[in-house]
Amino acid sequence: MLESAGTTRPRRSPRPHGSGRGAPAAWLVVALACAGQFLVVLDVSVVNVALPSMRTDLDLSPSGLQWVVNAYAIAFAGFMLLGGRAGDLYGRKRMFLAGLALFTVASLAGGLAQDGWQLLLARAVQGLGAAVLAPSTLTIVTSAVPEGAARARAIATWTAVGAGGGAAGGLVGGVLVDVLSWRWVLLINVPVGAVVLGGALRWLRESRAGDGRRLDLPGALLVTAGLATLAYGISQTESEGWTASATLVPLAAGLALIGLFLAVEARTAAPLMPLALFRRRAVSAANAAMFLSGSAMFAMWFFLTLYAQNALGYTPLEAGLALVPSSLAVVLGSKLAPRLMRTAGARTVAALGTLVAATGFGWQSTMRIDDPYVTGIMLPGVLMMLGAGLASTPLAALATSGAPPGEAGLVSGLVNTSRTMGGSLGLAVLSTIAAARTAGRGTPEALTEGYALAFRTGTGVLLAGVVLMLVWLPRPVGGGVGNDGAGAAGGAAEKLSAPGQRS
């Protein structure tokens, strides 16, 4: 396991650089892991404000724009479980470095792309690198900090940084597109990735729970192919309708691949996703809630940035600046969540946060082309992201609490997989719904009608998520701590027991 703050090794001689400590402070380990998570989540949303420029420069179709986002998300979700298991077997530091290196190289390739297919391929490889990297970030955090209040606080920090990466994507992308070009929304990852790689090489310690089992590569390929085929089938409904063979065939094939994946997992000796894991109430309920929440929240940035540019006439930079309050709100929600969890319990805080987000979605669904910024984007955006921040921390804590060391990476991967899998399929569905309402009209009024319908649909999905959480998530037991192995969610109001960690 990763060594925590203040751990010394008397048998080791001091390092050449003058430090006699055998391990870095826990806050430094958490900071490096959070930096990796920030890059992963940032690239889910940073391309949104650059989509119009990408379409013009590379002659992408409207459906091609959707795949700039989904190529990354589907590879990310499909290989996340493989990345989590690889970290358990071969070392979390090793997978962190491999994933970050692949992500950085793919970012360079995407930034230099000259054709649409090159960009889509680079985005898919980026997603693969992110899938290897992301599970290791959470497992490194939970390994570096003891279970209990300190670990819950560390998870809250990880959640806040990740959520902030998604929220900051619009601003970062807007600045880069306006000042430089759309290519820099990808190229910026190269120097940042190099710095994080250097820090990880020097300061991270290796940890693993290897037991000699082989990776379930067939399972990873089946679930990724199934997700991609389903998303393609859903996107075909925009032009072909729901009853056309061009839609039904990929939908049926995608469902068949997912079914085959489940069959393989039930029979293989070392499954990628042990189905018995879902017998734990906290794991199954929290991941189902993550899936529903992700299906709505993932699409929020996509539609808000398009609404700001295509309907309200904002520049990419103005669209990014418009989302700054939302960026602050998601971080605030993530930081408030552990304090509320200590008194109200993880289940209540998750449901409350999702209800707040649903309120913001409902408000946003009333959008018009002449809305002022404060009521048209800022306030509903703040509610959506405040709620997302409040809900994510308790769900992540519930999903990962009580996991044995050999399954820590797998359970961490499930958290991100559920959210991103829901997000990729949700984006395909909501984009299709919006396009159907627009009916090929490109006027600001028509586009706004489509965006509003997408947000109304998202409201319904989030309300369904609230019901699911109240019915299925573990109920609080004594002091607001969830049962069924959810003890790590309680007492989260305290700070990390690591030097330098701030609230």
Nearest to 233 by CA among 268, 257, 265: 257
In the numeric block, the tokens 């997603």 are attached to 127
Q: What is the mean pLDDT of residues 232-239?
A: 74
Task: Quote the CA–CA distance of 236 and 431 in Å, as a whole number.
Answer: 11
> Is the pLDDT confidence value at 20 over 60?
no
Lowest mean pLDDT of 203-212, 256-265, 326-335, name the range: 203-212
**Which amino acid, residue 294?**
G
Q: What is the mean pLDDT of residues 319-337?
A: 84
Task: Quote the CA–CA distance of 410 and 131 in Å, as a whole number.
Answer: 12
Q: What is the mean pLDDT of residues 5-28?
A: 47
**Residue 147 DSSP code:** T
pLDDT in tens, 80-94: 777 777 777 777 788
Task: Quote the CA–CA distance of 229 and 223 in Å, as a whole number.
Answer: 10
**Which amino acid, residue 284?**
S
Lowest mean pLDDT of 259-273, 377-391, 400-414, name the range: 400-414
Report residue 230: phi and psi, to 5°: -60, -45
Lowest mean pLDDT of 20-24, 40-44, 88-92, name the range: 20-24
Domain locations along the chain: 26-216+270-489, 217-269
CATH architecture classification, 26-216+270-489:
Up-down Bundle (1.20)
**Which amino acid, residue 243?**
T
**Residue 477 DSSP code:** E
Task: Quote the CA–CA distance of 35 and 195 in Å, as a whole number.
Answer: 10
Q: What is the DSSP string of 307-356?
A: IIIIIS---HHHHHHHTHHHHHHHHHHHHHHHHHHHHH-HHHHHHHHHHH
Q: What is the mean pLDDT of residues 17-29?
A: 54
The pLDDT of residue 409 is 57
Q: What is the mean pLDDT of residues 20-31?
A: 61
Q: What is the DSSP string of 215-277?
A: P-HHHHHHHHHHHHHHHHHHHHHHHH-SSSHHHHHHHHHHHHHHHHHHHHHHH-SS-SS-GGG
Q: Give the N- to C-terminal CA distance of the chain in Å, as an integer.
A: 25
Q: What is the DSSP string of 102-138?
A: HHHHHHHHHHT--SHHHHHHHHHHHHHHHHHHHHHHH
pLDDT in tens, 442-500: 788 888 989 999 999 999 999 999 999 888 887 764 444 444 444 444 433 333 223 23
The mean predicted confidence, pLDDT, of the chain is 77
Q: Looking at the whole model, is its pTM more than 0.85?
A: no
On whether the CB atoms of residues 465 and 390 are closer than 8 A, the answer is no
